Amino acid sequence: MLTNQKGLTLIEILSATVVLSVVIMAFVAISAYTGLSDRNTDMKAAAMRIAEQKIHTVRSYVSLHGDAGSLADEQEGEYTITYSLMPLGETALSDYTLPPAGQRVSLQAAVLISSGLEPEPRLLTVVVSWGDEL
């Protein structure tokens, strides 16, 4: 019987393989989550840029024409843009069901609408949403 053997036993090799597999699976799960998180962050950043652009466009139109024109909902790629123009003091988009908070960006700005002798302040809300809508 040999008592001075060098090397690894089968049990040691199998246990090392199991530990290594668990570590690799953890890294795969983390990288998948990071990729999904990066995509969501990119979508939010792009939606924020679109909302800012739409607010600037409407404010420019109002400064030139005195009114907001027709603010019809739009589709831009995979984004849906919804407009609302309300008197200051009203707070909700009553006729629009908002998608979940993680799938939308909402920006607001005050605009002065010339509808008579005195300009009226209005609250312009631009909601940019993406993904599955409710």
Residue 5 lies in a domain: no
CB atoms < 10 A from the CB of 130, how many?
Answer: 20
Residue 125 lies in a domain: yes
Residue 57 lies in a domain: yes
Residue 79 lies in a domain: yes
**C-beta of residue 86 within 8 angstroms of C-beta of residue 132:** no
The whole-angstrom separation of Cα 123 and Cα 126 is: 10
Q: What is the chain's pLDDT, residue by residue, as a tens digit (134 residues)?
A: 556 667 778 898 999 999 999 999 999 888 888 877 788 888 899 999 999 999 999 988 888 887 877 888 889 889 999 998 888 776 655 545 565 666 888 899 888 888 777 888 888 999 999 886 44
Beta strands, E only, 1-133: 74-76, 79-87, 104-114, 119-130
The whole-angstrom separation of Cα 40 and Cα 87 is: 33
Considering its fold, how many domains does the chain have in total? 1
Structure tokens at 67: 């009114």
Residue range of the domain that includes 125? 10-130
Residue 1 lies in a domain: no
The whole-angstrom separation of Cα 75 and Cα 129 is: 10
pTM, entire model? 0.66
